[in-house]
């Protein structure tokens, strides 16, 4: 069996900004502490939700470092280190490890994309040159390339490739991955609307946007399922269906940062090209937050 990075819910944490667009490191520290005190099981730093794409290299590393310091070893810190440049990814992984990251989340190469053979070569090249566990990240809606189950099987042969965040939305493909890889690749849902369905196929939890708002509830959903209380987990999944829809009614992380600001969590503005929600989307988000008694 491969190393298990965590079981339960990991928050894909937003990166809080000051009004001038700089990173608000003090607020980051308080968010990390609050998440851990609310029973979150791990934190993903500098992922898509953390606006990784517009962080400069020095900012990227400092955000990871400050999150590690704030966590104080209480939960694993998983650093978003994926890129469409293989050599750059190796550099970023090793620098992230040097500031304390426990594992790496590595999105499939985007824009230039690659073939399935290229994915195997890309990830194995990186895995040969790092000393922390790697979680693959399959999100074809953003990258334009999907990692196929047969490719997961090949990649799972590497000792450093231990897991996948699966955000392809295809439960049949996830079932096939589980069938082909067994315990050689741990699976996590990358979609909040599929936490329980993915766990029913052997998933160990979720990397969540929802848990920025509701860390304890998202943790509970996963733990109820893992503890055999599937009805309770199902009820929580259904309860938050409307809110999850609202959190993805615009490009992530636009709605979640908007929601957090509405809740008084003061995570600041987005960085361009991400932009404010339109009135229709904002009203829908407010409606679902009110339904869940969050605002």
DSSP 190-243: S-GGGHHHHHTTT--EEEESGGGT-HHHHHHHHHHHHTT-HHHHHHHHHHTHHH
Chain-centre distance of CA 199, in angstroms? 16
Q: Find the radius of gyration of the CA atoms of the chain.
A: 18
Q: For residues 20 and 268, what is the distance between their CA atoms, to the nearest angstrom?
A: 9
152 is catalytic: no
Q: Which of 25, 123, 137, 152 is catalytic?
A: 137
Residues 2, 52, 165, 288: which is the catalytic one?
Answer: 165
Catalytic-residue membership of 37: no
Q: Give dist(CA 73, CA 293) in Å, integer.
A: 32
157 C-beta neighbours (distance < 10 Å), count: 12
Which residues are the active-site residues?
137, 165
């Amino acid at each position: 069996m491969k190393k298990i990075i965590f079981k339960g819910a990991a928050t894909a944490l937003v990166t809080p900004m000051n009004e001038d667009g700089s990173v608000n490191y003090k607020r980051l520290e308080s968010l990390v502490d609050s998440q851990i005190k609310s029973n979150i099981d791990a934190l993903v730093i500098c992922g898509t939700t953390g606006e990784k794409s517009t962080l400069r290299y020095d900012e990227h590393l400092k955000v990871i470092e400050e999150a590690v310091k704030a966590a104080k070893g209480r939960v694993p810190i998983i650093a978003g280190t994926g890129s469409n440049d293989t050599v750059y990814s190796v550099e970023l992984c090793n620098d992230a490890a040097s500031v304390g990251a426990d594992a790496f989340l590595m999105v499939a190469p985007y824009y230039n994309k690659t073939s399935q053979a290229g994915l195997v070569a890309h990830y194995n090249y990186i895995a040969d040159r790092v000393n922390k566990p790697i979680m693959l990240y399959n999100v074809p809606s953003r990258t334009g390339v999907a990692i196929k189950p047969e490719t997961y099987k090949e990649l799972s042969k590497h000792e450093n490739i231990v897991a996948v965040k699966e955000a392809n939305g295809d439960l049949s493909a996830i079932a096939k991955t589980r069938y082909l890889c067994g315990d050689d690749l741990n699976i996590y849902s990358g979609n909040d609307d599929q936490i329980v369905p993915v766990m029913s196929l052997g998933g160990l939890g979720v990397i969540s946007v929802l848990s920025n708002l509701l860390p304890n509830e998202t943790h509970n959903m996963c733990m109820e399922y893992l503890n055999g209380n599937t009805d309770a987990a199902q009820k929580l999944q259904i309860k938050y269906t409307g809110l999850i829809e609202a959190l993805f009614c615009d490009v992530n992380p636009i709605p979640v940062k908007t929601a957090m600001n509405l809740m008084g969590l003061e995570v600041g503005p987005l960085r361009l090209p991400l932009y404010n929600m339109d009135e229709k989307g904002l009203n829908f988000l407010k409606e679902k937050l009110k339904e869940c008694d969050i605002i």
